Amino acid sequence: MSAIVLGKGDALLIVDLQNDFLPGGSLAVPRGDLVVAPINALVALYRERGLPVYASRDWHPLDHCSFSAQGGPWPPHCVADSEGALFSGALQLPDDAIIVSKATTAAEDAYSAFNGTGLARSMLAEGISRLTVCGLATDYCVLNTVLDGIGAGFEVLLALDGTRAVEVAPGDGDRAIARMLAKGAVPVSLSGGHLIADPKLGARL
C-alpha cells in the first residue's frame, strides 16, 4: 500500500449522486446511500488541498429516450429541475463545485460524464491530469466515465468505497471494476486522511 500525494493536476469527479439513484428514488442503486459518507470524506480531502471538485448529473427532458415510455431501458429518472434530479441533500458539495449536466436532450443518452459535455477539454484547460472518480452507479455511469477518462488521457483513481453497483445482473459491479482496472484505473481507498492505492483491493476480483 502506498499513500498518494495529491497536488496540482488532481481533481475529484463525483458521478451522479442524485436523489433518483439513491434509496427512495425512481432508479435507486441498492444501498447507494452507503457511498455518501466516503464521498464527503473525499470532498473534504480535496477541499483541504484547494483542489477542484466536479459533480456530474443526469439532467433529462421529460420525454428522454432512455425512459421506458420512449422504448428505453429505464423508468423516468433525473428529469431536469425535479426533486429526483437534485444532488443528495447529504452530499457536502462545495459552493464552487463544477456541475456537469449530461444527456440533456431527448434523443441522446450519456452514461459517461465526458459524453457530449466538453468535460475533458475543460479539465485539460485547467491543467488537470489525474482524477479520483466516485459515485453511482459502478456498472453504468462510473464505468463509462472511468473508461472515457482513461481514453482522454487522464490518470484515473477509482474510489471503491465511494461507488456502488445497480447489478441488473448479479456480478455486474465486480465485472465493471475488473474492466476499469484492466484499462489502468487504480483502486484507492481513504484511510487516516490519506488516499491509499491498494492493488490488493483489485486483486480480490
**Footprint of Zn ion (CB under 5 A):** 58
Contact of 135 with 15, CB cutoff 8 Å:
yes
How many residues can be counted in the chain?
205
Q: Which residue is nearest to Zn ion (CB)?
A: 58
* Residue 64 or 128 having the CB closest to Zn ion: 64
* Residue 58 or 148 having the CB closest to Zn ion: 58
> Smallest gap, in angstroms, from Cβ of residue 111 to Zn ion?
8
Q: What is the CA radius of gyration of the chain?
A: 16
Q: Which residues are catalytic?
A: 16, 102, 141
> Smallest gap, in angstroms, from Cβ of residue 141 to Zn ion?
8
* Residue 46 or 67 having the CB closest to Zn ion: 67
Residue 89, C-beta contacts closer than 8 angstroms, at least 6 positions apart: 19
Residue 5, C-beta contacts closer than 8 angstroms, at least 6 positions apart: none
> Smallest gap, in angstroms, from Cβ of residue 188 to Zn ion?
26
